[in-house]
Chains A and B, each alone.
Chain A
Amino acid sequence: MSDIVPPEVKPKPAIPANTGPLVPPTSAIPVPVGSHSTAQSASGGSTLLGYIGIDTIIEQMRKKTMKAGFDFNIMVVGHSGLGKSTLLNTLFKSQVSRRNAGWPRDEKIPKTVEIKSVSHVIEEGGVKMKLTVVDTPGFGDQINNDNCWEPISKYINEQFEKFLKEEVNITRKKRIPDTRVHCCIYFIPPTGHSLRQLDIEFMKRLSHSVNIIPVIAKADTMTIEERQEFKQRVRKELETSGVEFYPQKEFDDDMEDKSDNDKIRETMPFAVVGSDKEYQVNGKRVLGRKTAWGIVEVENSNHCEFAKLRDFLIRSHLQDLKEVTHNIHYETYRAKRLNENGGLHPISSNGTQESNL
């Protein structure tokens, strides 16, 4: 048996901190300086004499991920007519919703909640993304909506199950296909009053297995004041019902994360308007809805919060949505599943199975 001197984690011994000229990072990532509680290169940590090139790993990693491409799976839930498809099309600036993927617009509202998914590949700036949109026609449309979340919950768990089965294989794929729902946008009808029981029930039950982002649909039916009041009421109700929507407080990494996310949580749910039509406003072409009393500009933050939603969902938290799904929701599912059947206990290295009892 070889003798291992236990690894010692040491701060680098104090060679004079003549760091010399450190070549600035080649990548233009807007990383806030001192973003983590550990010190920067000049103090504490370890200082190196002269440039080595360790920071090139950022570029290396970025190249690899771009080559591999990304998957993103988004689900929309809300009763029909709330503008789900339009909002998705507006978000991704193309016809990603199933309505336009050759599926005829449903003449009849389905008798039960159906799950329909469609995938597209979109590319921007060299980044390839396979976007899968999961629609849930029939949700909330019945007279009796008891348990209408069940097919949705079942679908979400089925995707976790698929992933788990792949992960547990002896010979497994280099990249396990990821169909797990990363984000579920829940459309709250703009009644102006409060949440309905269905809304609360759904969000309460599903917030433990998927990231829920509630939005107020068709926000152009409310005035700004009405909107603010409605939002406050909704937020309060969600809090008293114990609904943790994304970004969940318990998963904030550190103080900085918490303060960033607190700001977002305070403006949620975003009041959005969707549109795929363009109009001329003040000499510019903008996406909007034309009414007799004016044009509602989708990307105008004075008119609605679409831009906030887009920035939040796509430009800053897209990767985090996937990570929370993978590191938390999936792990919860996996642990529960493995516990059901007596589980896979850690295996002792001498190969005997005593510890597996």
Chain B
Amino acid sequence: PKGDPTVHVFHRRGNRRDKNIRPLNLAGHVGFDSLPDQLVNKSICQGFCFNILCIGETGIGKSTLMDTLFNTNFENFESSHFEPQVKLRAQTYDLQESNVRLRLTVVNTVGFGDQMNKQESYQPVVDYIDRQFESYLQEELKIKRSLHNYHDSRVHACLYFISPSGHSLKSLDLVTMKKLDSKVNIIPVIAKADTISKSELHKFKIKIMSELVSNGVQIYQFPIDDETVAKVNTSMNGHLPFAVVGSTEEVMLGTKMVKARQYPWGIVQVENESHCDFMKLREMLICVNMEDLREQTHTRHYELYRRCKLEEMGFKDTDPECKPVSLQETYEAKRQEFLLELQRREDEMRQMFVQRVKEKEAELKEAERELQSRFEQLKRLHADEKATLEDKKKALEDDQVSFSKRRAAAQLLQGQSLTANGKKDKDRKK
């Protein structure tokens, strides 16, 4: 009770580091027992975030179950069976209960299990989960960041809906869950459980769990380290996977209206624990382990993602001599490396350019030379022709001159002969 100074000596377990830390007894009420309240109050003011991913075939009852779980009517779209590939649809809602505000994001798969070739069906889901981690990581790595204001979109819980075949898991189920078990807390549920009889259900559950174990699939275990919840969690761990029935319709039973599905042969009551495990699911998912699911996502799944991502990029905690290397130093080194590489490429390009210019220049010079020699040749030809023509012209001119000379001589001769003939004529007349 508050106000009672604890008198018992406190023994600190573990941490050898804390050897020299003395436990002290308090002589009166100090008041730091209000610390959890102070912390919780801050969270209440900020509000909480919870993100659920539902994976299951079209029509298996994902949306109905969410509606039933949260006693509300989320906006639902009926999906077709003809989606060419798996998509995810995320919707966010603000809910409030007494003074707790919850920002709930429900992500549903669309078209899961509908394709002929389901080999890549899991990929969009994995990508979505990774994208949320990446987004958080980016924020964390910023210089000016605001993590305490960050809207956490990382998936805290993944409900995997198993078809109520009554036999065993499908290979799609195993493959998908195997890909997801190190990225998200998986809680498998058997959907539309009212189609299986009780005895078949029992066998079905056992078969499913053994298949999961033999395939090495790590589903989420309700934590048993806290004594207050260890008992109920251990018992619930034994009821997995939860066989659920969802319904938002109400049926009159006796004097009350209950959520149920009405069949000609009877009424399946959603909240009746002997009819299905719905209440168990709600208890575990929300009332007991919601905070643990969030914590596991952050401290385990996210850390794993972060570690892998940074290692992939070449960062290490220790260098080859096993001395601790700071992320920053590695980063600086990489940056330098990168800049050097850029420089090198730039030099290379420049050299190549110079080379090409030289080549082109040589080419052009060659062409010019060729052109020049041809020109010379033509010039010579031309000169020869010209000379020949000059000669011909000269010859022609000579001919002309001698011709005109002869003509002149001929004309003269003709004139003389005419005058001589005229004299002769004159002489005869006399």
Contacts and interface: CB of A to CB of B under 8 A. Distances in A.
Nearest to A349: B134
Interface string A283-304: 0000000000000000000000
B145 A331 contact: yes
B419 interface: no
A281 interface: no
A319 B282 contact: no
Nearest to B309: A347
Interface string A102-136: 00000000000000000111111111111000000
Contacts of B38: 316-320
Given A24-B98, A314-B30, A344-B141, A60 B75 contact: no
Contact of B10 (A6, A51, A101, A128): A128
Contacts of B92: 7-10
| Chain A interface mostly | loop
A310 B97 contact: no
Contacts of A13: 73, 75
B353 interface: no
Contacts of A123: 6, 10, 23, 26
A128 B145 CA distance: 31
Contact of A54 (B86, B95, B313): B95
A345 interface: yes
Given A126-B33, A168-B328, A169-B327, A356 B335 contact: yes
A351 B26 contact: no
A249 interface: no
A287 to B, nearest CB: 8
Contacts of A36: 45, 101
B28 interface: yes
A2 interface: yes
A127 B1 CA distance: 12
B40 A61 contact: yes
Given A2-B128, A356-B335, A93 B26 contact: yes
Interface string A67-104: 10010100000000000000000011111100001000
Contact of A41 (B96, B105, B287, B327): B96
A94 B25 contact: yes
Nearest to A315: B31
A120 B27 CA distance: 15
A52 interface: yes
B36 A45 contact: no
Given A10-B92, A41-B97, A314-B32, A63 B87 contact: no
A57 B98 CA distance: 12
A334 B339 CA distance: 25
B252 interface: no
Interface stretch (B214-222, B291-299, B360-368, B384-392): B291-299
A46 interface: yes
A222 interface: no
A56 B286 contact: yes
B85 A344 contact: no
A349 B148 CA distance: 23
Nearest to A60: B291
A297 B306 CA distance: 55
Contact of A122 (B18, B23, B137, B316): B23
Contacts of B86: 2
Nearest to B336: A342
A55 B36 CA distance: 16
B21 A119 contact: yes
B4 to A, nearest CB: 7
Contacts of B123: 2
Nearest to A29: B37
Contact of A129 (B4, B35, B125): B35
A25 interface: yes
Interface string B275-290: 0000000110011111
B89 interface: yes
A7 B127 CA distance: 16
Contacts of B72: 12, 15, 46, 48-49
B91 A120 contact: no
Contacts, number: 309
B96 A40 contact: yes
Contacts of A357: 335, 338-339
B23 to A, nearest CB: 5
Contacts of B142: 344-346
B30 A92 contact: yes
A240 B222 CA distance: 57
B23 A49 contact: no
B5 interface: yes
Contacts of A4: 87-90, 128
A125 B29 CA distance: 9
B132 to A, nearest CB: 11
A109 B82 CA distance: 83
B100 interface: yes
B35 A319 contact: yes
B42 A319 contact: yes
Interface in A15-49: 15, 22, 24-25, 27, 29, 31, 33, 35-36, 38, 40-41, 45-49
Contact of A353 (B35, B289, B334): B334
Nearest to A67: B226
Nearest to B127: A2
Contacts of A2: 85-88, 123-125, 127-128
Contacts of B88: 2, 4
Contact of A335 (B87, B143, B299): B143
Contacts of B339: 357
Contacts of A8: 91-92
A297 to B, nearest CB: 14
A48 B68 CA distance: 11
A357 B20 CA distance: 47
B2 to A, nearest CB: 6
21 contacts: A22-B98, A31-B44, A46-B94, A48-B70, A48-B96, A48-B97, A54-B100, A56-B286, A62-B37, A65-B40, A127-B35, A130-B21, A310-B31, A317-B38, A318-B35, A319-B39, A320-B38, A338-B328, A347-B313, A349-B134, A353-B313
Given A49-B71, A129-B32, 6 more contacts: A25-B99, A41-B96, A48-B97, A62-B39, A93-B28, A311-B31
Interface of B: 1-2, 4-6, 10, 12, 18, 20-45, 48, 69-73, 75, 85-103, 105, 123-125, 127-128, 131, 134, 137-138, 141-145, 147-148, 153, 226, 228, 282-283, 286-292, 295, 299, 303, 306-307, 310-313, 315-317, 326-328, 331-332, 334-335, 338-339
